[in-house]
Structure 1
Amino acid sequence: MSRFYNQFSLLIVSFWGLSLMILLTSFSGVLAQAYNPKTLILDNGLHIVVIENNRAPVVTQMLFYKVGSADDPYGKSGLAHFLEHLMFKGTKKNPPGRFSETVARLGGKENAFTGHDYTGYYQTVPVEHLGLIMELESDRMTGLVLNEELVNSERKVILEERRSRVENNPQSLLNEQIDAALFINHPYGIPVIGWENEILELETKDIVEFYETWYSPNNAVLVVSGDVSSSQVFELAKSSYGKVPFRFVPLRERVLEPFARVEKKVILKDEKVGYPTWIRRWVVPSYSSNYKDKAFAIEVFVEILGGSLSSRLYSSLVVDQPLAVSTGAWYFPNYLGESSLGIWISPRPNVDINRVVISLEKELKLVEQFGVKEEELKIAKNRLIDSSIYTRDSLSGPAYLFGVALSTGQSVSDVEQWSKRISEVTVEQVNSVAREILASQAFVTGVLMPKVKN
């Protein structure tokens, strides 16, 4: 039912898969006049955002809680994700299975996800059933019923999820180790799903305490996108979510990552690996961290460097030379703490990975020494802003964008101003952040290699 989000576990799959993830995890899906969101804060503190979309008689409801794996107590990793699983186990009013059975009977779909800074639950149903879905979702905001049997049963599911998605997936396992090496003091270095030894030790009382601490209307964001009016949504929300009482929630804290002074390298060899992959990552500012004004310049820099099939890395290493089958760069600015920037490359068959890396390093050195050109800047900014138009056709895309933003320290106004901020980025700003990042030796390099059987 649920999914956990390790931010890099699915990225090195295909170039277009990467581009889609970046589109859905940054503000590049938002234009100032594209969504015209309507907002309301209920008396109990619930923040509601409505995005009207009349393309089809359906609606998506996404409820974000401002708590994620980075808020797990020390030594209890995986707690936020564990609770996400258990949220489907029922309440006194709605026994286990009724919520999901109702969504399925209505011809809808549902799921949930856990990130470092938020946990989300969503349903897409015919618009006439929005009120019922709101009643069900608001009921489990504070009405969840747990016991030892349910917790221990779901623990087995989560451990199997970890084995199948991480431990039996060399790419995910490498990314998990890179995270741990990159963030030496920050909880972003701990996997969202948690470490196995700590998942085994989580107790029912830990989960109940976490639930009662963080799950509250004043710590949540409700985003509704679809064939509805804002007045309709606000009235339905008042009659369902509005009945849930306000509860004091502690302030979230994010420690600063200390300045890294050394290069680190993580190497994984596995018999399941068919071809090598090389990754490099740096810690960089996010929209909400210190030096957040650099985030927009970093977005444009990443687009120029490896954000498309016409990017510098792809043009040089895949098309012109050619040495690689794929390459690119990514950056996720929507974090409550610091974020990271990454580049990757996969060599062509029978091309030594060291030869490819040497060529990639030369491209990075060219950018560091000579910077990017004004024409590159213009094309990248236009591509970022133009690509955002396509997200408007989606129900879940806009809801996800606003939910993530409001869960990580941003505002509706910040989202709406994204295109303006991108358009204002100068070539001097891009070259400044590029040189600062590329000149630093404080990065982590990861290498995934085939392991030859004896």
Structure 2
Amino acid sequence: MAARVWASLATILAITMTLALAHRLEAQTRERRASEFTLSNGMQVVVVPDHRAPVVTHMVWYRVGAADEPPGVSGVAHFLEHLMFKSTEKLASGEFSRIVSRMGGQDNAFTSQDATAYFQRIAKDRLAKVMEMEADRMVNLRLTEAEVLTEREVILEERRSRVENNPQAVLDEQMNAVLYYSHPYGIPVIGWEHEIARLTREDALNFYKRHYAPNNAILVVTGDVTPEEVRRLAEDIYGRIPPNPEIKPRKRPMEPEQRAARRVEIKDPRAGKPSIQRYYVTPSYVTAEPGEAEALDLLMKITGSGATSRLYQKLVAKDKVASTAGGWYGGSSMDFGKIAVYAVPADGVSLSEVEAAIDAVLADIVANGVTEAELQRAKKSYLAEYIYESDNQATLARRYGWGLVVGRTVEDIESWPERISKVTREDIQKVAARYFDPRRSVTGTLLPVPPEGVEQTRTSAPNGRS
């Protein structure tokens, strides 16, 4: 009886705290935090003021990523990202970053399947300078043959160190290749090694001229600025660049119905311990039905996030069949999302035993759902994370930029906490039943073997691919 009373009190407390967080967020977002406008050349601009320090984060996002590459030149989006730090008509190779550093700032860039982004964190009075340099390389990239060849070798070495020398990364790459039948998310962002080795200056410049233009870009500025200040600078600096009339909405091959589970096995002497993981194809926040992505986020928070999750508690804490276990949902991409679950068997436990234990946890959620206490704890965790991240201007720049570049709106981004707060236990059980479907999945295993027993990869798929 006492245990039930304490459980009820804990649930009531969790609900109360979740409502308090939700009310705080509602107060914060009653008025839009971000301002947005569009320049005459089509460049979208978002400003998120934060006047606590005289610092700004300046980001330019391009609506192009690895999934938009032509066939046969995988890795060219990432390759071009590297080359954007080379010479332009005004700057020598490497001078962009040196200038930012001399001004006391930081800069970097990254490429994903759906976007390429460049950012600088800088004192407010240097914002115009980084805008001028970013606008310059948007249209004036020069590229010498020597720069291209040198950077190609850098990327090949990056692939060798990050992928080829890491059995877990090899497994992840192979699983993604099998997870998608026709969609380009199955091709790694860094590219396949044999295609990277053939990338040329012409490949990079063609991709650059096709996709880098103000009407294919989003400018996000967060920090000690006002929308009016940013508008004046953006119109004066970026507004001079003519739009590219050839820019069209992105169109990609889509997936057929997935009808059979697939498996990938990697044997490698460099693997420390055996492990198992599984990916399920799901919708993303862009493609999901209303409320589905939010429910998937909460489902995987409960199922796989941290020591209180279902997987960790059952496999590690209670049954002791795994040394670690967990999972997550990634829904930030443009076309598809992904659920992942994973575990490392405890000593003396087979991979098949651990896989059966994972399946049992997922089946229980499908059959019986989650508890109200679990749901409130997951909501509280997410809402708290949202509040804390909102205090970081660099995180804010990424939050808005990433959402907008895949097709979401400012309103959609800012109303996320409200939508999370409305998810019910029934919503979670519904998406669990729909997406914990083996036919939508790839299961991968990594096995350590003696050096003489290496078998790099074995794939089993319903269509006989290998």
Match of 2:224 in 1: 227
Number of equivalent positions: 426
SS of the aligned residue for 1:441 comes to helix
Q: Is residue 291–residue 423 contact of structure 2 (8 Å, CA) maintained in 1?
A: no
In the TM superposition, residue 291 of structure 1 has moved relative to its aligned partner by 3.5
Within a 5 Å distance, the mapping from 1:331-342 to structure 2 comes to 331-342=329-340
In the TM superposition, residue 347 of structure 1 has moved relative to its aligned partner by 2.4
Matched, 1:364 2:362: yes
Q: Is residue 108–residue 120 contact of structure 2 (8 Å, CA) maintained in 1?
A: yes
Match of 2:162 in 1: 165
Match of 1:425 in 2: 423
Match of 2:463 in 1: none
Match of 1:281 in 2: 279
SS of the aligned residue for 2:402 comes to helix
User: Which of the numbers 373, 377, 380 marks the counterpart of 1:379?
Assistant: 377
SS of the aligned residue for 1:369 comes to helix
Residues 370-379 or 57-66, more deviating: 370-379
Distance (whole Å) between structure 2 residues aligned to residue 221 and residue 402 of structure 1: 10
Alignment TM-score, normalising by the size of structure 2:
0.88
Distance (whole Å) between structure 1 residues aligned to residue 31 and residue 175 of structure 2: 37
Residues 437-446 or 331-340, more deviating: 437-446
In the TM superposition, residue 207 of structure 1 has moved relative to its aligned partner by 1.5
Matched, 1:144 2:141: yes
Unpaired runs of 5+ in structure 1? 1-28
- Identity level (%): 42
Residues 216-225 or 379-388, more deviating: 379-388
CA-to-aligned-CA distance 1:155-204 (integer Å, 9 cap, x gap): 11111111111111111111000000001100000000111111122222
Amino acid at match of 1:242: G
Residue 222 and residue 127 in structure 1: after superposition, are their counterparts in 2 closer, same or farther (change >3 A)? same
Distance (whole Å) between structure 1 residues aligned to residue 208 and residue 440 of structure 2: 37
In the TM superposition, residue 50 of structure 1 has moved relative to its aligned partner by 1.2
In the TM superposition, residue 229 of structure 1 has moved relative to its aligned partner by 2.1
User: Which of the numbers 197, 202, 209 marks the counterpart of 2:199?
Assistant: 202
SS of the aligned residue for 1:271 comes to coil
Alignment TM-score, normalising by the size of structure 1:
0.90
Q: Is residue 35–residue 51 contact of structure 1 (8 Å, CA) maintained in 2?
A: no
User: Which of the numbers 410, 413, 420 marks the counterpart of 1:412?
Assistant: 410
Within a 5 Å distance, the mapping from 1:65-80 to structure 2 comes to 65-80=62-77
User: Which of the numbers 305, 325, 328 marks the counterpart of 1:327?
Assistant: 325
CA-to-aligned-CA distance 1:296-320 (integer Å, 9 cap, x gap): 2111111111123211112222222
Amino acid at match of 2:50: N
In the TM superposition, residue 350 of structure 1 has moved relative to its aligned partner by 4.0
CA-to-aligned-CA distance 1:399-432 (integer Å, 9 cap, x gap): 0111110010101011011111111222222111
CA-to-aligned-CA distance 1:25-74 (integer Å, 9 cap, x gap): xxxx9973597112121111111111122333221111100000000001
User: Which of the numbers 56, 61, 65 marks the counterpart of 1:64?
Assistant: 61
In the TM superposition, residue 86 of structure 1 has moved relative to its aligned partner by 0.6
Q: Is residue 33–residue 416 contact of structure 1 (8 Å, CA) maintained in 2?
A: no
Matched, 1:32 2:29: yes
Matched, 1:447 2:439: no
Within a 5 Å distance, the mapping from 1:92-111 to structure 2 comes to 92-111=89-108
Amino acid at match of 1:316: K
Distance (whole Å) between structure 2 residues aligned to residue 195 and residue 35 of structure 1: 43
User: Which of the numbers 233, 237, 246 marks the counterpart of 1:236?
Assistant: 233
Q: Is residue 38–residue 230 contact of structure 1 (8 Å, CA) maintained in 2?
A: yes
Distance (whole Å) between structure 2 residues aligned to residue 61 and residue 349 of structure 1: 49
Amino acid at match of 2:52: R
Match of 2:456 in 1: none
User: Which of the numbers 120, 125, 133 marks the counterpart of 1:123?
Assistant: 120
Q: Is residue 260–residue 438 contact of structure 2 (8 Å, CA) maintained in 1?
A: no
SS of the aligned residue for 2:61 comes to strand
Match of 2:303 in 1: 305
SS of the aligned residue for 1:121 comes to strand
Q: Is residue 268–residue 451 contact of structure 2 (8 Å, CA) maintained in 1?
A: no
Unpaired runs of 5+ in structure 2? 1-24, 453-466
Match of 1:54 in 2: 51
Residues 391-400 or 341-350, more deviating: 341-350
Distance (whole Å) between structure 2 residues aligned to residue 293 and residue 84 of structure 1: 35
Distance (whole Å) between structure 2 residues aligned to residue 449 and residue 131 of structure 1: 53
SS of the aligned residue for 1:415 comes to helix
Residues 174-183 or 328-337, more deviating: 328-337
Residues 87-96 or 200-209, more deviating: 200-209
Residues 347-356 or 191-200, more deviating: 347-356
Match of 2:85 in 1: 88
Residues 31-40 or 294-303, more deviating: 31-40
SS of the aligned residue for 1:393 comes to coil
Q: Is residue 282–residue 444 contact of structure 1 (8 Å, CA) maintained in 2?
A: yes
Match of 1:23 in 2: none
In the TM superposition, residue 109 of structure 1 has moved relative to its aligned partner by 1.2
Distance (whole Å) between structure 1 residues aligned to residue 56 and residue 176 of structure 2: 36
In the TM superposition, residue 290 of structure 1 has moved relative to its aligned partner by 5.5
Residue 243 and residue 158 in structure 1: after superposition, are their counterparts in 2 closer, same or farther (change >3 A)? same
Amino acid at match of 2:321: L
Residues 349-358 or 53-62, more deviating: 349-358
Q: What do you get for the CA RMSD once the two structures are aligned?
A: 1.8
Matched, 1:42 2:42: no
Q: Is residue 291–residue 419 contact of structure 2 (8 Å, CA) maintained in 1?
A: no
Distance (whole Å) between structure 1 residues aligned to residue 439 and residue 89 of structure 2: 55
SS of the aligned residue for 1:252 comes to coil
Match of 2:344 in 1: 346
In the TM superposition, residue 351 of structure 1 has moved relative to its aligned partner by 3.5
Residues 143-152 or 286-295, more deviating: 286-295
User: Which of the numbers 195, 215, 218 marks the counterpart of 2:212?
Assistant: 215
In the TM superposition, residue 289 of structure 1 has moved relative to its aligned partner by 2.0
Q: Is residue 49–residue 227 contact of structure 2 (8 Å, CA) maintained in 1?
A: yes
Distance (whole Å) between structure 2 residues aligned to residue 124 and residue 213 of structure 1: 28
Matched, 1:355 2:333: no
In the TM superposition, residue 387 of structure 1 has moved relative to its aligned partner by 1.6
In the TM superposition, residue 142 of structure 1 has moved relative to its aligned partner by 0.6
